Structure 1
Amino acid sequence: MSKTNVIIIALVAISVAGIVWWQSSADSASQAVEVNMPSLDATQTAGQKLFEANCASCHGVTAGGTDKGPPLVHIYYEPNHHPDAAFYSAVAIGTRQHHWKFGNMPAVKEINQDDVTKIIAFVRAVQRANGIK
């Protein structure tokens, strides 16, 4: 076998290994996360009920994600990266896919701004209980 063939085979093997590693890390990043649930105040409890009715089918009952949507209990959604305004906007007009491979999030027209405020209170409480400040 020539030196050129050995180099080509080595490069192909390295490329395949890189693709497999990248795909496995992307798949593991899209899985639901384990969530510690905090004690909730009245507003957060109201938000939890609204979240369960309107968001849990994609984001999971505890905001830990599902095979249909990402976990909101994740560093990507910390207030410094996704402020509350991002949640209001996502509900009102939807959002394009940018961190995960779940596709675009459609608007959720059935939820009014007061309800979004309560949902955010719930999500932020759960995030804080799981070390996301």
Structure 2
Amino acid sequence: MNKIRRRQFAVGLIALFSLSVQAQSWQVPKPSPGLMPNPAAGKTLFAKHCAACHGTELKGSDKGPPLLHRIYEPSHHADAAFQLAAKNGVRAHHWKFGDMAPVPQVTSDDVAHITAYVRSEQRKVGID
């Protein structure tokens, strides 16, 4: 391995280790046991808490990214990512809208309903 590749590998390992340690300290919020996430309830909650940035039709705005995008498909951003985003906020990493602040007024149950709504809308456009 040449010197540049060794350095890139070392930097990559450090970054991976740091993300792993950070992720291990996060507690993923969990909805109430037995909750049946309801997309209709999620649509109302989305309109109240999320649409200002993510757009009324989940297509984004000048303040936030579209959730009807392959980046947010379940295999790339699992439902737990929505729970963590609402609780902790998100550092900008896919888009140039800036960091997402935490949304403390939404509960874990609210986020479960919102996620159910987002997933149902994603399926309608072929994102699953």
Runs of 4+ in 1 over 2 A off after TM superposition: none
The answer to whether residue 68 in structure 2 is matched with residue 80 in structure 1 is: no
Partner of 2:55: 60
Shift of 1:80: 0.3
* 1:128 maps onto 2:128 in alignment: no
How far did residue 83 of structure 1 move? 0.2
1:101 deviates by 0.3
**Which ranges of structure 1 fall in alignment gaps of 5 or more residues?**
1-41
Aligned residue pairs total 92
Q: Structure 2: how far apart are the matches of 1:83 and 1:44?
A: 17
Higher-Rg structure is 1
2:106 matches 1:100: no
Q: TM-score, normalised by structure 1?
A: 0.68
How far 1:84 moved relative to its partner? 0.4
TM-score, structure 2 normalization: 0.71
Percent identity (aligned): 52
- Structure 2: gaps of 5 or more residues: 1-36
Q: What is the DSSP-based 3-state SS (H/G/I as helix, E as strand, rest coil) of the residue aligned with 1:116?
A: helix
The one-letter amino acid paired with 2:99 is: N
Q: Distance in 1 between matches of 2:57 and 2:41?
A: 14
The two structures, once aligned, show a CA RMSD in angstroms of 1.0
Q: Distance in 2 between matches of 1:46 and 1:131?
A: 22
